[in-house]
Amino acid sequence: MADQGSQGKQLLSRHPSGVVFTIQNVVSTVNMDCKLDLKTIALLARNSEYNPKVCTGAKSEQQSKLAARKFARIVQKLGFPAKFKDFKIQNMLSSCDIKFPIRLEGLSYSHDAFCSYEPEIFPGLIYRMRQSRMVLLIFASGKIILTGAKSEDDTHAAFENIYPVLTEFRKIQQ
């Protein structure tokens, strides 16, 4: 069952460059170990939405877990024998700003195997990091979006990886 969260929370990163990134979205799943009648829950519980498409919104790992627990409690109150099993974060999306413009074409030329840059289709460069299985959207303004992480550490690691590359392709304005 998918989890729904609410507020945003800024997390300081331990990154030497001093760049802070904000986690925008966390998708997680939890096994309640009992059959749930989704329609009943949707009708009875006050702030629930039965949407067969997964809806998410938690802004931190802890918030996500907290929200999942709260939801399990609500389901319990409705009369289902719910348990809190196998809470797992499926995806974490974060964004950050490195505050300098980037030469996307140069980057795509040198890292040809990992990059996909089609300015006609999408203004950002799509960087698929093989070893960490993450995807980064890199924009010419210097804003980066990292997705595919299962934890904050994954995000940090990927960012550490890409930062030197980005400084290498910094756009020097004359």
What is the C-alpha to C-alpha distance for residues 65 and 137, in angstroms, rounded to an integer? 27
- Segment interacting with other proteins, rule: CB under 8 A, options 76-84, 119-127, 143-151, 159-167: 119-127
What is the C-alpha to C-alpha distance for residues 56 and 111, in angstroms, rounded to an integer? 33
- Out of 74, 116, 145, 163, point to the residue binding other proteins (CB under 8 A): 116
CA nearest neighbour of 104 among 122, 125, 121: 125
Binding mask 95-114 for other proteins (x = CB under 8 A): ------x---x--xx---x-
- Out of 15, 141, 163, 165, point to the residue binding other proteins (CB under 8 A): 141
24 touching other proteins, by CB under 8 A: no
Question: Cβ distance 162 to 136 under 8 Å?
Answer: yes
Our CA dihedral for 82, 87, 93, 95, rounded to 10 degrees, sits at 100
**Complex with other proteins: residue 28 or 108, whichever CB lies closer:** 108
Contacting positions for other proteins (CB under 8 A) = 101, 105, 108-109, 113, 116-121, 123, 140-141, 171, 173-174
